[in-house]
Homo-oligomer: A and B are copies of this chain.
Amino acid sequence: MRTIRMTVAYDGTNYVGWQIQPNGESVQSAIERAILKLTGEQISVLSAGRTDSGVHALGQVVSFRTNSPIPCNGFRKALQKFLEPDVIIRDLQNTHADFHATYSAKKKRYRYIIHNSKTHNPFLRNYVWHRHSRLDTDAMHAAAQKLIGTFDFRSFESHWPNKATSVRTVMELTVRREHYCPIFFEQPGGLCAAPSSGSVSPSQPEGDFIWIEIVADGFLYNMVRAIVGTLIHVGTGRWHAEDIRRIRDAMDRSQAGDTAPPQGLYLVEVDYGDDASDDAPLD
């Protein structure tokens, strides 16, 4: 029995989300079916994050155990043949037996893209949140800094209480403008690349694409989308940085903004605090 760790990118448009649901195809079921076809094994796979319907991933991490002897590169290529082209296995390697895609994660990076333009782009409808009125991204960035640190984030959690604790640590939260929608841009670091210019300061005041990047040790249900739906009101001038602090401290979901729509959200990368390839026992 070996343990495999995969990095997967997917377009979430045609899926009901990561997790198996009765009402449609999930990314999890697509991957499990592909493994069944390749190995004959009925396996449950684990993931770093349970992305919702319509949410995308550039660097979702998936782990599972298998008795298959197929070497990693061949396994990746063969498995890909059983998947639709909207789910791409970017990497597949052996890892140590106690690796768990969900619980071993140290931090995750999500990105939210707003297309802040007077015109609609028909090609972007499933990949951004379109906002017609110009948003003040400098103000959004400044206010967002109130959410950096360790807090009870239940003001930004749907269906609370879902978890033993709503305390999470946000390490990074930036709002900046760019001239491009990053998922379609070839970057030096590949699909997963962090912002090209410094991730601390916003700037680029002319671009129509707003990138909101957030890194935390874990995320509550709909946390990124609730934060985005709240920061929007800073962008319009309704709220200011002090309101973000107030909402954070209220620990009351009704104080914050609405949940932003799913199609602008991307699970970008997951940090396990180690290089999995160091542990590869096979291949």
Contacts and interface: CB of A to CB of B under 8 A. Distances in A.
Interface of A: 9-11, 56, 85-88, 90, 117, 119-125, 127, 179-181, 183-186, 190-191, 207-209
Residue in A120, A124, A186, A208 whose Cβ sees the most chain B Cβ within 10 Å: A186
Nearest to A190: B119
B10 A184 contact: no
Given A186-B209, A208-B186, A88 B122 contact: yes
A86 B130 CA distance: 13
Contact of A186 (B10, B88, B90, B180): B180
A121 B266 CA distance: 14
Contacts of A125: 11, 85-86
Residue in A119, A122, A181 whose Cβ sees the most chain B Cβ within 10 Å: A122
A179 B190 CA distance: 12
Residue in A56, A86, A123 whose Cβ sees the most chain B Cβ within 10 Å: A123
Given A184-B185, A186-B207, A208-B186, A121 B179 contact: no
B208 A123 contact: no
B56 A123 contact: yes
Nearest to A187: B179
A117 B180 CA distance: 20
Nearest to A57: B122
A120 to B, nearest CB: 5
Contacts of A123: 11, 56, 127, 183-184
Given A181-B184, A185-B179, A87 B11 contact: no
Contacts of A119: 88, 90, 190
A11 B184 contact: no
Residue in A85, A184, A209 whose Cβ sees the most chain B Cβ within 10 Å: A184
Given A85-B120, A123-B127, A184-B184, 12 more contacts: A86-B125, A88-B120, A119-B190, A121-B183, A121-B184, A123-B184, A124-B184, A179-B186, A180-B186, A184-B185, A186-B207, A186-B208
A263 to B, nearest CB: 11
A121 B9 contact: yes
A121 B185 contact: no
B183 A180 contact: no
A90 B87 CA distance: 32
A92 to B, nearest CB: 13
Contact of A121 (B88, B117, B122): B88
A167 to B, nearest CB: 34
Which 10 pairs across A and B sit closest by C-beta, in order of nearness? A184-B184, A85-B125, A181-B184, A11-B122, A88-B122, A86-B122, A123-B183, A88-B120, A186-B208, A180-B185
